Chain A
């Protein structure tokens, strides 16, 4: 499908963040509506910093962020209304039940109570949390906590879901459930941007892959396009990724 005809869900232009050194260096990135975009890069490449700036958790030093045609820096509340964020460390409230947590999230996003409850019940069922929906989260495993966090991200029906290593520490069953939920989300027209170190996941799920190193986008495209660029048409994503990163380092 020709991406240029699709609406832009996320556009970053000249995005910059410096600490002691540039963490994100004048990054330009475009993600289209209904696309599953995977952001790859070695440790410290600037992936998480980029995503945290997109969702409003970090203030950029320079550049622009546009989410669903909303300038996220000028009108952060409007941008947040259509965005969801899931990090690798699920941050939920131990003393709330999944059902109460989802009620809280729905309230923060001003979702109508009736519609929010119906959506919450659907997600709880979908993610296999039904037997535990009225139990406090304090005794939950990491996988269950991640599922509760994911349900929280989906309960307000966001157009753009941003996930930072969401599969870290999940068992095979939980990881598959999360992947299925994300796939269905994209099939329904939603946009997903995800970082992962599990290259097989990116290989199987992503429509396009961006490779970031030293805060800059060094390669972008479908898996085939990346292979061609690295000069090995039958290589795995792992080989392609390592070659691209090595070239950048050199």
Chain B
């Protein structure tokens, strides 16, 4: 057992906290649910392996030629942008969460030791997350193409470590440039944009150059192959490593660990100062325009309150509206296809419906569960039914306003596709809201990010419901009655949700 106050002792403490935090996230704080979570993970893991196999099988025998390296590098870069986004989020949280900071900074232990360990913990968490996501794909590649693909685990871990190091550097840079007050919000928005930008960028390039929504299309273009560095370039080290080149893998791992070491050495001595500066940040005074009371009904007041709170919280707004970013590529496709055949527009319908489902789920959680003054609303002289209806209306009206311009634009090019998309948006939003109603819990709006962990069932139900309705809308837009099948699946999901939802008074 290590001596108290040493780096290893602190690392063991961080590891224990990390494990307990993760366990609590998975079980929503109920240890009795652990067995259920393990079974659910096992089922989910098997399912993911089954889904991954047809996706990766055709790449299993890929040779390390230039074309393969370009595609593999593109996929790695795509994944890396998501890891970097996650790392920036974690570093921002480490700066701003008070948690045990008072204890750490007043204890007779060198703060740089503590923060060195904390940066290490972030790197470990990001690498673990990356590995967890990669497991089904790497396993299936190894099954179909041989053990050489197992080297991809090393690449993924290295990417996680590099992402964490860059995340620390970028967040600290933001801290120094724009100060602690703005960093919290800006870092989270930058993280979200980084996470979405590369994926969206690839889709936009694909649409502009190839007229399709496939994000791999630009990576297979002859133009790109003619302009990338040669086979011997160091740029291809990660791709070579992923394709089973052991020497490249060792270099990559060494580089990742060296970068992490340099990051810890460079930033841990100042980490404490930044955390102290962050804790000293006051909210600042925001004054609102003066005007008198206006006569409104309780339901109108509740709806207005929901919209006002959302509009005034840029972080929440960015978190919820980030999903709208994914509508940019389809909007671009719509614009490009406007004078062409309308059949291409059918691909827009499921994208729009899916985005509406995801956005409605987030808004419904904020409105129904994320109530910061639950006692006030519950003790007001309005029936619980009217309160819920006001909140549902707030969500549905917001969705209608956000998606109306896109549906109208679609209607100008293809009235049928627009009609299907419009109905699909309303149905999927209603379904997502219903799921949130069934699994509502009382929470603070600031816990929005953790909403998915409060009920795993609700999260999966919401996702599968959106996918099913999107599929139904796509098939209906294509004019086939097979649309009934995914619609029935979606209804079955809704029925299942009602069966397993916690009972209410």
Interface residues of A (CB under 8 A from B): 55-57, 59, 77-78, 80-81, 83-85, 87, 91-97, 99-100, 103-110, 112-114, 116-117, 120, 134-136, 138-139, 152
* Stretch binding the partner chain, chosen from B167-175, B229-237, B285-293, B483-491: B285-293
Asked whether A139 and B301 contact (CB < 8 A) given A91-B374, A108-B382, the answer is: no
B interface, size bucket: 35 or more
Identify 12 residue pairs between A and B in the complex whose beta-carbon atoms are under 8 Å apart, listed by A's number.
A55-B375, A56-B379, A85-B376, A96-B309, A97-B288, A100-B288, A108-B380, A108-B382, A109-B380, A113-B292, A135-B288, A136-B288
Chain B, residues 125-167, CB within 8 Å of chain A (1/0): the string is: 0000000000000000000000000000000000000000000
Partner of A59, one of B282, B302, B383, B505: B505
Q: Which residues of the other chain, A, contact B305 by a CB distance below 8 angstroms?
A: 93, 96, 104
Asked whether A135 and B298 contact (CB < 8 A) given A57-B379, A114-B293, the answer is: no
- Known contacts A112-B295, A113-B293; 13 additional CB pairs below 8 A are A80-B380, A81-B381, A91-B373, A91-B374, A91-B375, A91-B376, A92-B376, A97-B287, A97-B288, A105-B376, A108-B377, A136-B287, A138-B283
* B480 interface hit (Cβ, 8 Å): no
Q: Which residues of the other chain, A, contact B505 by a CB distance below 8 angstroms?
A: 59
* B294 interface hit (Cβ, 8 Å): yes
- In the bound complex, what is the Cα–Cα distance between A105 and B313 (angstroms)? 21
* B328 interface hit (Cβ, 8 Å): no
- Residues of chain B from 359 to 377 with CB closer than 8 A to chain A in the complex: 372-377
Nearest CB on B from A225, distance (A): 32
Q: Which residues of the other chain, B, contact A84 by a CB distance below 8 angstroms?
A: 379
In order of increasing CB-CB distance, the 7 nearest A-B pairs are: A107-B301, A139-B283, A108-B380, A117-B293, A80-B381, A95-B312, A113-B295
Q: Which residues of the other chain, A, contact B287 by a CB distance below 8 angstroms?
A: 97, 134-136
The answer to whether A95 touches B375 (Cβ under 8 A) is no
The answer to whether A110 touches B376 (Cβ under 8 A) is no
The answer to whether A107 touches B377 (Cβ under 8 A) is no
Q: Which residues of the other chain, A, contact B293 by a CB distance below 8 angstroms?
A: 103, 106, 113-114, 116-117, 120
The answer to whether A91 touches B381 (Cβ under 8 A) is no
Nearest CB on A from B341, distance (A): 47
Number of A-B pairs, beta carbon distance below 8 Å: 104
Q: Which residues of the other chain, B, contact A106 by a CB distance below 8 angstroms?
A: 293
- In the bound complex, what is the Cα–Cα distance between A152 and B377 (angstroms)? 12
Partner of A110, one of B286, B379, B381: B381
Nearest CB on B from A152, distance (A): 7
The answer to whether A136 touches B286 (Cβ under 8 A) is yes
- In the bound complex, what is the Cα–Cα distance between A93 and B301 (angstroms)? 14
Q: Which residues of the other chain, B, contact A104 by a CB distance below 8 angstroms?
A: 301, 305
Q: Which residues of the other chain, A, contact B313 by a CB distance below 8 angstroms?
A: 95
Chain B, residues 53-84, CB within 8 Å of chain A (1/0): the string is: 00000000000000000000000000000000
- In the bound complex, what is the Cα–Cα distance between A138 and B285 (angstroms)? 8
Q: Interface SS of chain B: helix, strand, loop or mixed?
A: loop
Q: Which residues of the other chain, A, contact B308 by a CB distance below 8 angstroms?
A: 95-96, 100
- In the bound complex, what is the Cα–Cα distance between A64 and B472 (angstroms)? 52
Q: Which residues of the other chain, B, contact A117 by a CB distance below 8 angstroms?
A: 292-293
- In the bound complex, what is the Cα–Cα distance between A67 and B47 (angstroms)? 57
Q: Which residues of the other chain, A, contact B381 by a CB distance below 8 angstroms?
A: 77-78, 80-81, 108-110
* B106 interface hit (Cβ, 8 Å): no
Nearest CB on B from A150, distance (A): 12
Chain B, residues 268-304, CB within 8 Å of chain A (1/0): the string is: 0000000000000011111111101111111011100
Partner of A134, one of B290, B296, B298: B290
* B378 interface hit (Cβ, 8 Å): yes
- In the bound complex, what is the Cα–Cα distance between A83 and B379 (angstroms)? 8
Q: Which residues of the other chain, A, contact B372 by a CB distance below 8 angstroms?
A: 91-94
| CB closest residue in chain A, given B505 | A59
- In the bound complex, what is the Cα–Cα distance between A107 and B287 (angstroms)? 22
Nearest CB on B from A59, distance (A): 6
Q: Which residues of the other chain, A, contact B379 by a CB distance below 8 angstroms?
A: 55-57, 80, 83-85
The answer to whether B378 touches A57 (Cβ under 8 A) is yes
- Residues of chain B from 367 to 417 with CB closer than 8 A to chain A in the complex: 372-383
- Of B294, B295, B302, the most chain A CB neighbours within 10 A belong to B295
- Of B290, B375, B379, the most chain A CB neighbours within 10 A belong to B379
| CB closest residue in chain A, given B373 | A91
| CB closest residue in chain A, given B380 | A108
Q: Which residues of the other chain, B, contact A139 by a CB distance below 8 angstroms?
A: 282-285
Q: Which residues of the other chain, B, contact A120 by a CB distance below 8 angstroms?
A: 293
Q: Which residues of the other chain, A, contact B290 by a CB distance below 8 angstroms?
A: 99, 134
- In the bound complex, what is the Cα–Cα distance between A99 and B380 (angstroms)? 18
